[in-house]
Amino acid sequence: MKAVVLAAALLLASAAHAQTTIETAAQATGNIAAPLGLELGKTRCARITQGPNHVRAGKAAWAGGDAIEIRSLDRFNLPGLTRVIVNCDAQDTVALVTLTFERTAFEDTRNKLDKRYEVKRKTDAHAENGYAEWLATNGSIEMLHAKEGRQFTVAYWGKGAKARYFAYNGGAASAPAVKAKAADKTPASAPAVKQPAAL
């Protein structure tokens, strides 16, 4: 009888441990930043330079690679999304993704980010220029907007990318999205995204 009770207790303990392991893995996965399916610091930019709706937008000199604009935005199912720029590093991996939205999508976007990532800094409602920040396992996310602006930007930084950006600019406060607007408009492309993208 003792053996049966002991075996049952071991089974319960083993099941509880397995459940905890599954939940921990799920939390870690949920905290990995992969805007539009492009995992920061991991996704190869070669994957997104194929197809008619992706164009080179010059060089992301601070990162060491290309800047790519994604133009087919409706497939991402993100209300209010108006522009996407991907900055690649010298190893051809995604270092920064900036997403520009219409102001009408502000609350929805912020709520999605609050649910998915750890909040580091909340937006100050009275600030002239709003700023909020979230932490991810593989980088950080920030939201920037002018108080009366018609649009706002969400920037996904790979680990170490933000420091490289500001070091390259000597501490200048120019916006990352502006840096990506170079003149080169050579057509490129990418495979279609099958799933709606999560923030």
* Residue 1 confidence (pLDDT): 54
Asked if residue 146 lies in contact with residue 129, where contact means CB atoms within 8 angstroms, the answer is yes
Decide which of 22 and 142 is more confident. Answer: 142
Q: What CA–CA distance (Å, rounded) separates 107 from 109?
A: 5
Q: What CA–CA distance (Å, rounded) separates 162 from 66?
A: 16
Taking the model in full, what pTM does it have? Answer: 0.70
Q: Rounded mean pLDDT of 5-26? A: 40
Asked if residue 61 lies in contact with residue 85, where contact means CB atoms within 8 angstroms, the answer is no
DSSP three-state, residue 17: helix
- Angle (CA) 183 187 188, round 5°: 120
Q: Which residue has the tokens 């709003």?
A: 130
Decide which of 30 and 73 is more confident. Answer: 73
The one-letter amino acid at 68? I
Kindly give, in sequence order, each residue whose CB lies less than 8 Å from that of residue 47, ignoring residues fewer than 6 positions away: 190, 191
Q: Which residue has the tokens 């009770």?
A: 5
Q: What CA–CA distance (Å, rounded) separates 74 from 12?
A: 48
Is residue 64 packed enough to be buried (19+ CB in 10 Å), middle (13-18) or exposed (0-12)? middle
Q: What CA–CA distance (Å, rounded) separates 69 from 81?
A: 13
Q: Rounded mean pLDDT of 37-42? A: 94
Q: What is the DSSP string of 137-184?
A: TTEEEEEEEETT-SEEEEEEEETTHHHHHHHHTTT----HHHHT--S-
Q: What CA–CA distance (Å, rounded) separates 169 from 62?
A: 8
Distance (Å) of CA 98 to CA 11, 57, 70: 48, 13, 11
Q: What are the pLDDT digits (tens) for 166-196? A: 998 644 444 444 333 333 333 333 333 333 4
Judged by average pLDDT, the poorest of 68-72, 82-86, 90-94, 140-144 is 68-72
* Residue 148 confidence (pLDDT): 82
